[in-house]
Amino acid sequence: MSGEPESYAWGTAPAHLRTRRQLQAEGLSPAGQGVAATVPHRWHGREQQAFLYDARKAVPKRPVSAAQREALAAATRERQLRAAERRGISRAELENEADWDPGPGWNTAAAAPEGEDKWSAALAEPTPTPAPVVKKSALAAHRGRNALARRSHERDGFDR
């Protein structure tokens, strides 16, 4: 092969060429191989290229180690704690996982039956809650859906 990878029109690339996402969906990794081909296309008026890799040269993805899983869990927990702090909830309130209750409709570790771990309970199907009944005022029913919104914008001084 020369320096430039081959270029194919949309839908005409050989079956063994895949994008990174397609390889990932199959549990494969490009393993450092170069781009085998490109597919030029337009996206929102901009010229772009999809890079294709040879699936025959791809290798299975490495499994995630226990240390990596723990690091991801710690980073996710830290991100959640920071988000809670931005919303006015102190870290001390959320530090003890056993006391934390996200509210009704969530299956938590506290709600797990004896003999089950907290994750199987958390992944169970939540019980559906009925949708609240919203009653329209007589004014909204008479003037239509956008009439009240129009009135509130006029009252607040917004220009349309």
Query: Each residue of 91-146: pLDDT tens digit?
Result: 887 776 555 555 565 554 554 556 555 555 555 556 666 666 655 555 455 555 55
Question: Would you kindly state where each structural domain of the chain is located, as residue ranges?
Answer: 6-60, 66-122
Q: What is the pLDDT of residue 84?
A: 86
Mark out the alpha helices in 14-158 (DSSP H runs): 20-25, 66-86, 91-95, 118-122, 138-143, 147-156
What letter does residue 56 receive in the DSSP assignment? T
Q: Check if the beta carbon of residue 17 is closer than 8 Å to that of residue 55.
A: yes
Q: What is the pLDDT of residue 160?
A: 47
Q: What is the pLDDT of residue 130?
A: 67
Q: What is the pLDDT of residue 17?
A: 95
Once rounded to an integer, what is the mean pLDDT over residues 27-51? Answer: 92
Task: Give the model confidence (pLDDT) of 49-91 as tens digits.
Answer: 999 999 999 999 988 899 999 999 889 889 988 988 898 888 8
Residues 6+ apart with CB under 8 A from 87: none
